[in-house]
Amino acid sequence: MKISPPVLCAVSLFLGSASAIPADPNDQPQKRASAYFSPPYYPTPKGGWVPEWRASYAKAQALVSQMTLAERVNLTTGTGLFMGRCVGNTGSVPRFGIPSLCLEDSPLGVAHADNITAFPAGITVGATWDKDLMYIRGVALGAEARGKGVNVQLGPSIGPIGRNPWAGRNWESFGADPYLQGIGGYQTVKGMQSNGVIATAKHLIGNEQEQHRLDSRLQPAISSDIDDRTLHELYLWPFAEAVRAGVGSVMIAYNELNDSSCSQNSKLINGILKDELGFQGFVMTDWLAQGDGAIPFIGNSYWAYDLSISILNGSVPLDRLNDMATRIVATWYQFGQDANYPPPNFSSNTRDRTGPLYPAALSLQSGVVNEYVNVQADHYKIVREIGRDAITMLKNDNNALPLSKNAKIRVFGSDAGSNPKGPNSCENRACNIGVLGMGWGSGSVDYPYLIAPIDAIKAIASDVIASLSDTFPRSQTATNDEIALVFLSADSGENQNTVEDNPGDRLSLATWHNGDALVQAAAKTYKNVVVIIHTVGPVTMDAWINLPSVKSVLIAHLPGQEAGNSLTDILFGAYSPSGHLPYTIPKSEAEISVFKPVGAGFNIGQIESPFSEGLYIDYRYYEKMGIEPRFPFGHGLSYTTFAFGNATIKRTAPLTEVPPPPPPKGPTPTYPTNIPPPSEVAWPTKGFNRVWRLIYPYVDNPQNIRVGRYPYPDGYSTVEKPLPLSGGAQGGNPSLWAELFQVSVQITNTGSVPGKVVAQLYLQFPPSIPYDTPRIQLRGFTKTLLSPGQTTTVTLSLTRKDLSVWDVVRQNWVIPGIGGAQGYTVWVGESSKDLRVKCDTVSLVC
């Protein structure tokens, strides 16, 4: 999200779906040049038709049917930037006890708040490959949000997926694979919402670079051009999982999809999200992201009174407003926010106890805005555990790690230390000084504290000397028994900040602050060098990775507030490393340069970003192109070793090419559709204290508004479409999650210390199917602790969806190659390049 300073505008966010508002015909996609096209899909499917939401919709209908036009409009509209305590505040409906809803960043904690926990970033929990930790983190995130009175938490981020390794916000999500990203999103949504907080799956969709993501009104936002199959099998997959988890809200990306702004893309929002995926909650745009349609961008309301006018003049059907309002109220009921949900007790605008209630209204009314409620509980333990279990050991020659507490430890690099001005000294964490615990932008939070590696190391080891500079000390000498720990980092973030010339997206995949030179210098002087990297994503390391003295490399990702403690748990051997890469590390940038951000720098006109590689991103791309990665997706070593064997496979249900037809849609609320009396949006007269600059639903002289003709776009319709074959429940056709195969593998810890093993299942589609499909794709994983000598059996399931391709002609998930002599090959191993066992789904032989 991007916020403008309060004095410039008091524009609001809005919670209806923007495709709600019929798009401006002048912005019709077919008027543009590219080969990608987003077909119209109208009307917006109404919410309320899945059984899990029926009771909430019934309650919502009872309330909404009694609401005035002003009340319904109020629900859908923000009160203005900096016009309340939270990053987003909606209009309230006091008559029915519906408060202004507090919407607050971020995916890793409560942003702009004190006395909270700075959790590890999404990419870090992705690197644990631990479903329980993903869930537990979600629960803790939700508990803190609720404790602060946040109604709608703006996370998890499940897009970007990381198509483009340079992209600024990949670290907010879980990794460069739809399956891993999907599980991360599912578990986080379940965890957060178990507290009654409404989670927000974001950003729908194709926000795979930061540069040019915004529509500047002079230049349209970048268009991510994605074909239908790639959308379904890659970018949409995690959103389907979040919807399946019952997510209450979805945030739309700034960029365009197929030359049509995501926030007005009827195919995306109406067709795919609400019909096919059966999404029952409410859609919000990112802040200021909607620019077209019946509601003008120019003007300062962004819905509110303009929406009231558009209802009265007939341009926006009342039906649509009713569905928007019902979706919001139903979601509020669905998560029990009608009963004892706390109001906000913090201010995202100030840390002071008292301050303006409406900062954009220039301090006219003030009061207590921060109650300093401490919501941290013992969540630091979860932070430390995730940070530790994410640490990914890429290399460990001669068992250089773990270190003894008596080792002669020499520490180099600013990333080992603290920011001398404090961990929060740069707004939105938009600097890279001291240990890197998170990236920058709206995906960050304020640290309550940040444990630097050097402090944690000194607390354990007795012989430590540090040079917390990124320049290797001149004339440094070393004895053979000294061990150098070299700390490097690579940062990125949201593009409203540029940090060390990086405009959100990274300029290069090299480590920052001349990290390659620091390692090279240390490796000349020391016989034993351990490199530790805090990073937002893949970094290049070929300048030093094969130097004989570089013995070990740890990727510590973005660990949050317990950075140092998570690291020392691994460094000194209290725990074995068990993290695995949630992305591939290349040998050089040149090999993957097709993924570089497009349109860098100043440009005019629409920038197109054709995703013409299709399904081939990250390891799928390397496999296809025959590029040997430096370290493959899924790679991660341990202080122990694991043997895989004795695999079995069994079919648990008969195979059919397509899923059975979905159950029909249940009924949805209906309301009278005659336009309400204009008096319902007249300014209240009695006992009304207007707040200057607050955005209201009220209209001057509403009785003068006349119904007129609105030029609806081509394809506009008010007749609901039949349910797609691929729909039928939250996430899609429920049969897609039916288990078809079970694969069991025995794993034995063959080393001398306890360790956690991650069994990763990669699926290879049958040969000679008529679909161009990546050689292998992740379709299962599980993490297990084993003591030395212990054997366990892990069982992984394959669902119909796991075995399917998206057939663009049939518009359905299809299992290809049924009846062929050779089935799918199911591989299980410790990385995408370390596949230990192999089973066939036809012969059922492993």
**Measured from the CB of residue 441, what is the shortest distance to ligand NAG in angstroms?**
22
CA–CA distance, 136 with 125 (Å, rounded to integer): 10
Answer for the pair 172, 439: CB distance below 8 angstroms, yes or no: yes
Instruction: Say if CB 450 and CB 566 are below 8 A apart.
Output: no
> Measuring CA to CA, which residue among 646, 644, 649 is closest to residue 842?
649
Instruction: Please state the closest distance from residue 818 (CB atom) to ligand NAG, in A.
Output: 25
The residue among 693, 699, 698 whose CA lies nearest residue 11 is: 693
Choice from 4, 646, 648, 799 touching ligand NAG (CB under 6 A): 646
Minimum CB distance to ligand NAG smaller for 484 or for 695? 695
Q: Is 675 exposed, middle or buried (0-12, 13-18, 19+ CB in 10 A)?
A: middle
Part in contact with ligand NAG (CB under 6 A); list of ranges 214-222, 370-378, 453-461, 546-554: 370-378
Report which DSSP code applies to 33. -
Residue choice 313, 606, 641, 799 for contact with ligand NAG (CB under 6 A): 313
Report if residue 713 touches ligand NAG, rule: CB under 6 A. Answer: no
Q: In this structure, what token pair is assigned to residue 640?
A: 């122990």
Alpha-carbon span 442 to 497, nearest angstrom: 10
Question: Per-residue x/- mask for ligand NAG, residues 419 to 458, rule CB under 6 A?
Answer: -----------------------------x----------
Give me the catalytic one of 24, 286, 292, 569: 286
Say which amino acid occupies 155. G
Q: Could you tell me which stretch among 224-232, 397-405, 436-444, 481-489 binds ligand NAG (CB under 6 A)? A: 224-232
Cα–Cα distance between 273 and 732 in angstroms, integer?
Answer: 9
For position 94 contacting ligand NAG by CB under 6 A, the verdict is yes
Span 326-365, contacts to ligand NAG by CB under 6 A: 342-345, 351
Does 300 sit near ligand NAG (CB under 6 A)? Answer: no
CB of 413 to ligand NAG, least distance (A): 28
Which CB atom, from 375 or from 499, has the smaller least distance to ligand NAG?
A: 375
- Nearest Cα neighbor of 213 from 256, 259, 157 is 256
CB nearer ligand NAG, residue 641 or residue 746: 746
Q: Which of 141, 114, 140, 144 is nearest to 372 (CA)?
A: 114
- In degrees and rounded to multiples of 5, residue 835 shows phi and psi of -100, 115
Min dist CB 306 to ligand NAG, Å, is 4
CB of 83 to ligand NAG, least distance (A): 9
- Residue 257 makes contact with ligand NAG by CB under 6 A: yes
Annotated active-site residue 286? The verdict is yes
Task: Report if residue 715 touches ligand NAG, rule: CB under 6 A.
Answer: no
Q: Is 791 in the site for ligand NAG (CB under 6 A)?
A: yes
Piece of 368-376, 488-496, 500-508, 780-788 that binds ligand NAG (CB under 6 A): 368-376
Contact 166, 535 (CB under 8 A): no
Q: Which residues contact 139 (CB under 8 A, 6 or more apart)?
A: 191, 192, 194, 195
ω into 106 cis (within 30 of 0): yes
Cα distances (Å, whole numbers) of residue 682 to 69, 281, 299, 702 = 10, 30, 19, 6
The pair of structure tokens assigned to 241 is 């999982």
Strands (E), 316-371: 354-356, 366-368
Instruction: Tell me which residues in 658-687 interact with ligand NAG (CB under 6 A).
Output: none
400 binds ligand NAG (CB under 6 A): no
Nearer to ligand NAG, 614 or 663 (CB): 614
Residue 105 · residue 442 · CB < 8 Å: yes
State the minimum distance, in angstroms, from the CB of residue 346 to ligand NAG.
Answer: 8
Pick 146 or 513: Cβ nearer ligand NAG: 146
Among 132-140, 326-334, 367-375, 523-531, which window interacts with ligand NAG (CB under 6 A)? 367-375
Is residue 76 within the footprint of ligand NAG (CB under 6 A)? Answer: no
- The correct pick among 60, 204, 294, 318 for binding ligand NAG (CB under 6 A) is 294
* Cβ–Cβ under 8 Å, residues 846 and 818: no
Q: Least distance from C-beta 95 to ligand NAG, angstroms?
A: 6
Q: Identify the burial level of 769 via C-beta atoms within 10 angstroms of its C-beta, where 0-12 means exposed, 13-18 middle and 19 or more buried.
A: middle
Among 128, 181, 290, 315, binds ligand NAG (CB under 6 A): 315
User: Out of 25, 54, 194, 228, which residue is the one contacting ligand NAG (CB under 6 A)?
Assistant: 228
> Closest approach of Cβ 154 to ligand NAG, in Å?
19
H or E segment to which residue 184 belongs: helix 178-193
Q: Does 645 bind ligand NAG (CB under 6 A)?
A: yes
* Tokens read off for 714: 């081509």
Q: What is the per-residue burial (b if ≥16 Cβ within 10 Å, else e) of 79-97?
A: bbbbbbbbbbbbbbbeeee
Judged by CB under 6 A, does residue 308 bind ligand NAG?
Answer: no
CB distance 203 to 169 below 8 Å:
no
- Contact pick of 23, 81, 86, 93 for ligand NAG (by CB under 6 A): 93
DSSP state string for 407-459:
SEEEEESGGGS--TT-TT-SGGG-S--SS--S-BSTT----S----HHHHHHT
Q: Which of 364, 365, 366, 372 binds ligand NAG (CB under 6 A)?
A: 372
Residues from 18 through 47 that contact ligand NAG (CB under 6 A):
36-38
**Which stretch in 186-194, 581-589, 734-742, 746-754 sits in contact with ligand NAG by CB under 6 A?**
746-754
Cβ proximity to ligand NAG: between 91 and 423 the closer is 91
What CA–CA distance (Å, rounded) separates 592 from 164? 9
- Closest CB to ligand NAG among 112 and 395? 112
- Closer by beta carbon to ligand NAG, 163 or else 513: 163
Q: Is 311 in the site for ligand NAG (CB under 6 A)?
A: no
Binding of ligand NAG by 92 (CB under 6 A): yes
643 binds ligand NAG (CB under 6 A): yes
Degrees (nearest 5) of the Cα angle 602, 605, 610?
95
Of 342 and 663, CB closest to ligand NAG: 342
- Alpha-carbon distance of 46 to 41, in angstroms, equals 13
Q: Candidates 90-98, 190-198, 389-397, 815-823 — which segment interacts with ligand NAG by CB under 6 A?
A: 90-98
- The rounded Cα 149 to chain-centroid distance in angstroms is 22
Identify which of residues 119 and 526 has a Cβ nearer to ligand NAG in the complex.
119
Residues 102-141 that bind ligand NAG (CB under 6 A): 114-115
Binding-site member from 276, 306, 562, 830 for ligand NAG (CB under 6 A)? 306
Sequential DSSP letters for 506-562:
-S-SSPTTTHHHHHHHHHHH-SEEEEEEEESS----TTTTT-TTEEEEEE----GGG
Angle between helix axes 131-147 and 379-390 (nearest 10 degrees) is 150
Q: Is 91 in the site for ligand NAG (CB under 6 A)?
A: yes
Total site size for ligand NAG, rule CB under 6 A: 51
Amino acid at 776: I
Distance CA 671, CA 46 (A): 12
Residue 611, interface with ligand NAG (CB under 6 A)?
A: no
Q: Stretches 123-131, 136-144, 168-176, 293-301: which one binds ligand NAG (CB under 6 A)?
A: 293-301
**Least spacing, CB of residue 260 vs ligand NAG, in Å:** 7
By beta carbon distance, the residue nearest ligand NAG is 345
* Rounded-to-integer distance, Cα 826 and Cα 822, Å: 12
Per CB under 6 A, residues contacting ligand NAG are: 36-38, 70-71, 74, 79, 91-94, 100, 114-115, 149, 227-228, 231, 257-258, 267-268, 294-296, 306, 309-310, 313, 315, 342-345, 351, 371-374, 448, 643-646, 708-710, 746-748, 791
Give the residue numbers marked as catalytic. Answer: 286
